Structure 1
């Protein structure tokens, strides 16, 4: 008996290339790792007779499997054919499953590579188009000092171009984003949006827990990808950090101020100051402020100056410099409440000292609403604070470029300085000594030349005649003036003083007047601007302030008394009675302005201003005033 077996089997995967583990789920039905066998065996006995039908079946079957037609069995042929067909079908399904799984994995791998293959796409999702342009665009060309200055029309046109760039910026940004989205390869758009969402979640909601494991994995992949390019990616992150610090500070209750360091451009005709950031720091949106460039931000009389930090688009069309300067500039106004000496110093000169003194004269003043009389009267102070010509900013047609521009003046309090807030801890005493030095007044340790000469003449003629202390009596011209000035002058002389009566005017020459004040031991006057001349007094000299009727002691102290003490001057106050006020004669003793000043103040400062500052004059009771004079005399003789 001859037994022949025909088998069909699939080789185990160990004899071929191993399949990736992730394909097992696609070809599990094929059982490719299990050997499959199907056998067809026929048994024949030599000499045994068989029918032709059996031989024909065996010949047909064996013809496809073997070359020996006589070695088959007619009874087993049909089952063997079905087994082989089933095996081939299973093998076919296994191959198709393998190919399908391989194709799916290939698509997934291609998508992942498109998302994480470069940092540019991720950075682009976090950047605005204007920022990307700013990083790659060169800075605007700088004008040379010898270049010809364009006229005012060209400057205005440049400003209009800059404004147009600002208006078109939003549309430009939207268009560039759409173009960029269209250029993203198919299949990566959703992944990029996912990356953008994850990154936004990191930057905008730091600290929020991410519950989804896939989100955490994707976030970690983005973090690793951003860290693979070293310095380049670190630079991008720095550029996309927090917005720069604003150049303007509006937080102080007294004043607003803007400080620009770098490419600062002042356009006087437009009352505008521009800041052009470096190319690597430009942002999609600019910033703009409008401030009053003096020490009192709520004054209605001060026009505003516009300060702008240009965006990336605006920086490319910024007006070119018509002149370049190596020193900083300070932009400030001379109008407002000036023309009153107290406001001249409190609103402009002292704040200008606080703002500009640290430059030691290496600063230029760009003055809005320039007042020629102010420049003339205080020319020594202005010339010492700045060695450069004063610019009438309102009439300046060019574009002035400075390495630093300050817009506005710092002010700590009315006619005062806070040392903790000044660059070199200046005090009001430092300011008084500074003023005395500017006007060439003698140091405190030296005698007063005028007094020394007078004393020498007296000694030559009268022998041992004692020098009298000198008292300057300042009389006001309009309100709160002394109506009995001759009587007061006589009382002062009777007390033992040498008296000098003056009535200051706005056109007073401070060079001469400062020397007259310096020669005096006492400066006397009613509460008002004339007492501001106490800056010219010597240390330990006396300011004698006559306080008008109407509960004005507090104002007298905060506007003059505190300052006198800070400058090492003696402060003496004499408060008049209701009978010494002309309000008593005008309204009578029963009028609230005379009998009850507090009720007037409760109705608002305007009513108090009307009665006690504007309508009141003083008729000094010299008998009542005499003890005060004697007390001051004893102090002056010490």
Structure 2
């Protein structure tokens, strides 16, 4: 027996060692998986950093409303949207600030978990209750957010209030619960201007809300005197959301509760999008195609089919934008004659026509190969052009080239359009007739940029008498571009 045990012992020892090693590896694996789940709660500023995602697993159907009955106590009504059910760890990562005020253009907040809206006399309020497991260590904070895409524009602000354990009683009780996310944004500001309507609201609203695929509610502040905006751009707003725009300021006693809520619009640049910072890499080409689809304009055909209305043997169609007051063409008849002599079919549109019916304007512009206009809001209609079309921007006198490139030139290129800048000579400005060639307004524009009066002269006081002979080579260049 003893001899037998002496023979078996080495094998038994090896077996025990193997069992011990296996047990140790099993414990290590369980520990690793538990720690991993601990950090599976999604950060609150995902959209601020440019990512997207639904965060809605296990939620009611999109748009479903539920009553406030049969709910857990305040602060425990809505679980963290993406927390995993298998998490066993009791230590949680610190709660990120829900608001980011660091961008030079816009302020923004994003909340996951329990966000509640309440209308106020002067400002609407959004309350955020941190997840229950973080409530004990959360610190109360308050932000006042201009929920448009420009900090410098005066709009009705939204108060965002993140609560802690001692201020939990401030949160109003839910009267409407929504399973879809929401975006709070402001109307008003400079949006009575056509370009600002797109640059300050519609483009950044696309950047902020498009990734939700229509399953998002749009909550507008300052909408009391802006019902016209919602009606005018109804096709764009309905393409972004399947639901009616909510006038948040007029909600009265209604308290809307969301598991994912964004306050503010992400406006990266003037009338432009930075794809590196936008969800899904959205850019101005995506915006132009989105807007065209919203107005039921033809989708781009697959290559190598032509994307422009003009066909071989027909005249290309050119739309001339006519401004009504400042920077207007004072010799529009001569300009139209020159365009026709250059071999174009010419159509005219008063800039004010954009206010009448955006859909009608969209169809007119879609039928054109070229859009020509002086630097101004009417050139915003380039969003309705087809791929490969040409935008000719007439740049007024007074070192206006940087504005022309920033407001329209770069956005046009990012939309898949061709942009041509025609910079007028001093003699083509009515300022030359009024002040003479030796006046600083003609001879030294820098004087007026230094004293801050450049807008008075170059934006508001001057009109344009286009030299059609000087302009003719530009028209011929555009024709060559269309044949390429």
Q: Same fold (TM over 0.5)?
A: yes
1:360 and 2:216 correspond: no
> How many residues of Structure 1 are paired with residues of Structure 2 in the alignment?
395
In the aligned structure 1, how far is the partner of 2:374 from the partner of 2:448? 21
**1:351 paired residue number:** 204
Unaligned 5+ segments in structure 1 are: 1-143, 149-157, 159-230, 456-464
Question: What are the residue-to-residue correspondences of 1:9-408 with 2, within 5 Å?
Answer: 145-146=66-67, 235=90, 238=91, 243-269=94-120, 270-283=123-136, 285-299=139-153, 301-370=154-223, 371-397=226-252, 398-408=254-264
Structure 1 residues 285 and 504, CA, compared in 2 at 3 Å: closer, same or farther? same
Q: 1:444 to 1:279 in 2, by over 3 A?
A: closer
Q: Specify every segment of 5 or more residues in structure 2 that has no aligned partner in the other structure, as ranges.
A: 1-64, 75-86
Contact 1:470–1:519 (CA<8 Å) still a contact in 2?
A: yes
Deviation at 1:316, TM superposition (A): 3.6
Partner of 2:77: none
Distance 1:421 1:312 in 2: 34
Aligned partner (choices 471, 474, 479) of residue 628 of structure 1: 474
Distance 1:394 1:492 in 2: 50
1:485 aligned partner: 332
Q: Deviations 1:19-43 (Å, cap 9, x if unpaired)?
A: xxxxxxxxxxxxxxxxxxxxxxxxx
Question: Structure 1, residues 209-250: CA drift from partner, whole Å, max 9, x if none?
Answer: xxxxxxxxxxxxxxxxxxxxxx99x84xx37xx752111011
SS at match of 1:620: coil
Quote the Cα distance in structure 2 between the aligned partners of 1:514 and 1:319: 44
Matching residue of 1:529 = 377
Aligned partners of 1:444 and 1:539 also within 8 Å: yes
- Alpha-carbon distance between aligned partners in 2 of 1:313 and 1:365, rounded to the nearest angstrom: 31
- Pairing of 1:611-626 with structure 2 (within 5 A): 611-626=457-472
Query: Any runs of at least 4 consecutive aligned residues in structure 1 with deviations exceeding 6 A, and if so which?
Result: 446-450
CA contact (8 A) 1:480 1:526 kept: yes
Name the SS for the 1:332 alignment partner.
strand
Q: Partner of 1:419: helix, strand, or coil? A: coil
Q: Deviations over 1:300-329 (max 9, x none)?
A: x21221101112122145211111111111
2:284 maps to 428
Q: Name the CA distance, whole Å, in 2 between partners of 1:517 and 1:448.
A: 17
- What CA distance in whole angstroms lies between the structure 2 residues aligned with 1:292 and 1:563? 25
Distance in 2, matches of 1:271 and 1:628, equals 52
Q: Is the 8 A contact 2:180 2:217 kept in 1?
A: yes
Q: What secondary structure, in the 3-state scheme, does the structure 2 residue paired with 1:307 have?
A: strand
Q: Verify the 8 A CA contact 2:309 2:369 in the aligned structure 1.
A: no
Contact in 1 for aligned 2:143/2:161 (Cα 8 Å)? yes
After superposition, the Cα gap between the structure-2 partners of 1:257 and 1:545, relative to the gap in structure 1 and judged at 3 Å, is: same
Q: Secondary structure at the match of 1:351?
A: helix
Distance of 2:473 and 2:279 partners within structure 1:
44
1:470 pairs, out of 302, 317, 340, with 317
Gap change, CA 1:263 and 1:523, over 3 Å in 2: same
| SS of the residue 2:465 aligns to | coil
Instruction: Report the CA distance between 1:147 and its aligned residue.
Output: 5.3
Q: TM-score, normalised by structure 1?
A: 0.59
2:418 to 556, 559, 570: 570
1 CA distance for matches of 2:368 and 2:344? Answer: 10
Give, in angstroms, the shift of residue 591 of structure 1. 1.5
Root-mean-square deviation (CA, aligned residues, Å) is 2.4
1:552-563 maps to which residues of 2 (within 5 A)? 552-563=400-411
The structure number with the bigger radius of gyration is 1
1:310 and 1:443 mapped to 2: Cα distance?
A: 47
Contact map agreement 2:94 2:134 (CA 8 A) in 1 = no
Q: Is the 8 A contact 1:469 1:637 kept in 2?
A: no
Query: Does structure 1 conserve the Cα–Cα contact (< 8 Å) formed by 2:214 and 2:242?
Result: yes
The residue aligned with 1:38 is none
Structure-2 separation of matches of 1:426 and 1:296: 20
C-alpha distance in 2 between matches for 1:478 and 1:490: 22
Shift of 1:404: 1.2
TM-score for both structures, normalised by structure 2: 0.77
Q: Deviation digits for residues 402-456 of structure 1, max 9, x if unmatched?
A: 111111001111111111111201121111111112212113328899968xx8x
Cα separation, 2, equivalents of 1:359 and 1:444? 24
Q: Please list the CA deviations of residues 150-179 of structure 1 after superposition, one character each: whole Å capped at 9, or x if unmatched.
A: xxxxxxxx9xxxxxxxxxxxxxxxxxxxxx
Structure 2 Cα separation of the partners of residues 616 and 145 of structure 1: 59
Q: Secondary structure at the match of 1:556?
A: helix
**Deviation larger for 354-363 or 316-325:** 316-325
More helix by share: 1
> Residues 308 and 387 of structure 2 are in contact (CA less than 8 Å); yes or no, is this contact kept in structure 1?
no
CA distance in 1, matches of 2:399, 2:118: 48
